[in-house]
Amino acid sequence: MSLNRISLTAVRNLHPVTLSPSPRINILYGANGSGKTSVLEAVYLLGLARSFRSLRLQPMIQYEQSACTVFGQVQLPQGGLCNLGVSRGRDGEFQIRIDGENARSAAQLAETLPLQLINPDSFRLLEGAPKVRRQFLDWGVFHVEPRFLGGWQRVQKALRQRNSWLRHGRLDVIEQAAWDRELSLASAEIDGYRREYLQALKPVFEQTLTELLDLPGLQLSYYRGWDKERELLDVLSASLPRDQAVGHTQAGPQRADLRLRIGGHNAADILSRGQQKLVVCALRIAQGHLVNQAKHGRCIYLVDDLPSELDEEHRQALCRLLEDLQCQVFITCVDPHLLKDGWRTDTPVAMFHVEHGRITQDHRSEA
Ligand SMILES: Nc1ncnc2c1ncn2[C@@H]1O[C@H](COP(=O)(O)OP(=O)(O)O)[C@@H](O)[C@H]1O
Ligand SMILES: [Mg+2]
């Protein structure tokens, strides 16, 4: 899928605008502070109902405006169009519309508009807390396995129950055992989906990485969140006294992680920033390939400040991989000359100049 049209109002410093992006490569260029990242942030809001720059959406609303709004028209892979709208008011009002109807949850948006973000913070995927990697993994599982969401909701519910009685001790023994069984069963289901997904992801990731970097020995592995030899039910009963002492459940799929190691070291501890960025790009591009194969169609890539940390050779290799994905890509950069050329002649490339919050399409370079 791709966005045919994007309209935005009162997003950060951007003047109200309607853009008609290319279904493939879109380059937004302009000086620092002109509003390039804000455009990506607007698209991200449309797909995920949140920002990647701050935990709250309030800072996205333009000063002195009461609400920011983003509309998008999505070309669906099976044909047809879908209209999405997200609006956030200063008073906290939040609205998600899909084809004119109020949506129940952000998961519906995510399903319509699978997004992958690569930005200068992306190295956090390697360096940051397990939660970041879990979100990455689950994004992929969610898009290729329709049963994942239901299973995950079951895990959440059982976990909330268990953590509540760990803290307050208000359930009887039979009820506790029933919730432990439910948690264990739902966790085994989730673990199965994640493991299967990772098995599919690994070879695609390794292949993608070889096209970007020479890093033999980089190992991607999955930790499910509890001892791989034992059932979660056994682990839960063995760890009960400790869980009670800390007031929450310490083992289970809520602790799952991905591990990237080179020769026994954590990859984040030995790779340069640029190398980390490329490893993360390879992971995210590999995910895009898997989503492309699954029934949801193609995802959209947002690449903020693509040239940063990369030399020319790696920049070109990354552009080639993004082009080969056949996805819609939005790339920002300061200097358009770094990215203007080198695309295949049949790839439609649209260039947008962002200046003090105003966006103009550069028609000379339009395909
Ligand atoms: N809520 C807001 N209202 C108006 N302007 C804002 C708001 N939030 C940030 N800005 C301004 O918007 C500009 C755009 O920032 P950004 O999109 O990060 O630019 P770029 O990515 O092109 O460097 C910045 O100059 C910033 O000061
Ligand atoms: Mg920026």
β-strand partners of 83: 73
Any residues with CB less than 8 A from the CB of 225 and at least 6 apart, and which?
A: 187, 191, 251, 252, 253, 254, 255, 256, 257
Is 31 annotated to bind ligand? yes
Cα distances (angstroms) measured from residue 123 to each of 25, 48, 198, 263, 309: 23, 20, 20, 20, 11
Whether 345 is in the pocket of ligand 1, judged by its Cβ within 6 Å, is no
Query: Ligand 1, closest atom to CA 354?
Result: 22
Query: Ligand 1, closest atom to CA 30?
Result: 22
Q: Enumerate domains of the chain plus CATH numbers.
A: 1-114+298-367 (3.40.50.300)
Any residues with CB less than 8 A from the CB of 212 and at least 6 apart, and which?
A: 278, 281, 282, 314, 317, 318, 321
Distance 37 CA to ligand 2 centre (A): 4
User: Which residue minimizes the CA distance to atom 25 of ligand 1?
Assistant: 33
Distance 33 CA to ligand 2 centre (A): 7
Q: What is the DSSP string of 102-137?
A: E-S-HHHHHHHS-EEEE-TTTTHHHHS-HHHHHHHH
What pLDDT sits at residue 365?
52
Q: For the chain (length 367 residues), average pLDDT per consecutive 10?
A: 96 98 97 98 96 93 97 92 96 93 87 92 92 95 94 97 87 86 98 98 97 93 97 96 94 97 94 94 96 84 95 96 96 95 94 98 66
Whether 32 is in the pocket of ligand 1, judged by its Cβ within 6 Å, is yes
Is 151 annotated to bind ligand? no
Q: Which of 9, 11, 12 to mutate to test the pocket of ligand 1 (most atoms within 8 A of CB)?
A: 12
Distance 362 CA to ligand 2 centre (A): 19
H-helix segments, the chain: 36-48, 106-112, 124-127, 130-144, 148-168, 173-212, 232-238, 240-246, 267-270, 273-293, 312-324, 337-340
Instruction: Give the position of tokens 């023994």.
Output: 173
Whose CA is closest to 162, among 185, 186, 178, 149? Answer: 178
What pLDDT sits at residue 367?
45
What pLDDT sits at residue 364?
57
Is 33 annotated to bind ligand? yes
Whether 33 is in the pocket of ligand 1, judged by its Cβ within 6 Å, is yes
| Tokens matching residue 156 | 């959440």
Q: Which of 11, 13, 58, 119 to mutate to test the pocket of ligand 1 (most atoms within 8 A of CB)?
A: 13
| Tokens matching residue 77 | 């892979």
Is 85 annotated to bind ligand? no
How many other C-beta atoms can be found within 10 angstroms of the C-beta atom of residue 79?
6
Cα 179 from Cα 169, distance rounded (Å): 13
| Tokens matching residue 241 | 């006294």
Is 34 annotated to bind ligand? yes
Instruction: Give the position of tokens 């008609």.
Output: 20
